[in-house]
Structure 1
Amino acid sequence: MMSECTSSALFFPGAEEPVQFQCPVQETGLTTSEIEELLSLLQEGNSNSNSGSPNSGSEGSNRAIYSVDERQKRRKTSNRESARRSRWRKKRHLEDLTEEASRLRMENRELKNRLGLVAQKFHVTRRENERLESESFALWARLLDLNRVLVAMQMQQSQY
Structure 2
Amino acid sequence: MFSAEEAIGSQLPVHESGFTPEELNELLSFFESNEPVSSNSSSENSSRAIYSPDEKKQRRKISNRESAKRSRWRKKRYLENLTNQVNKMNIENRRLKNRLHLVLNQCHVVWVDNEQLRSESFALWAKLLDLY
Provide TM-score, normalisation by structure 1: 0.53
Aligned partners of 1:125 and 1:112: how far apart in 2?
A: 20
SS in structure 1 of the partner of residue 117 of structure 2? helix
Residue 108, structure 1, aligned to residue 93, structure 2: yes
CA drift of 1:61 comes to 7.0
Regions of 4+ moved over 6 Å? none
Q: Identity of aligned pairs, percent?
A: 62
Bigger Rg, which one: 1
Q: Relative contact order, CA 8 A, sep 6+: which one is greater?
A: 2
SS in structure 2 of the partner of residue 65 of structure 1? coil
Aligned partners of 2:56 and 2:47: how far apart in 1?
A: 13
How many residues align structurally?
A: 89
Aligned partners of 2:103 and 2:71: how far apart in 1?
A: 47
SS in structure 2 of the partner of residue 66 of structure 1? coil
What is aligned with 2:50? 65
What is aligned with 2:108? 123
**Amino acid in structure 2 at the alignment position of 1:95:** E
What is aligned with 1:76? 61
Which sections of structure 2, spanning at least 5 residues, go unmatched? 1-43
Which sections of structure 1, spanning at least 5 residues, go unmatched? 1-56, 148-160
Provide TM-score, normalisation by structure 2: 0.63
What is aligned with 1:8? none
Q: Which has the higher helix share?
A: 2
Q: For the aligned residues, what is the CA RMSD?
A: 1.6
Aligned partners of 1:95 and 1:61: how far apart in 2?
A: 45
Aligned partners of 1:126 and 1:117: how far apart in 2?
A: 14
What is aligned with 1:25? none
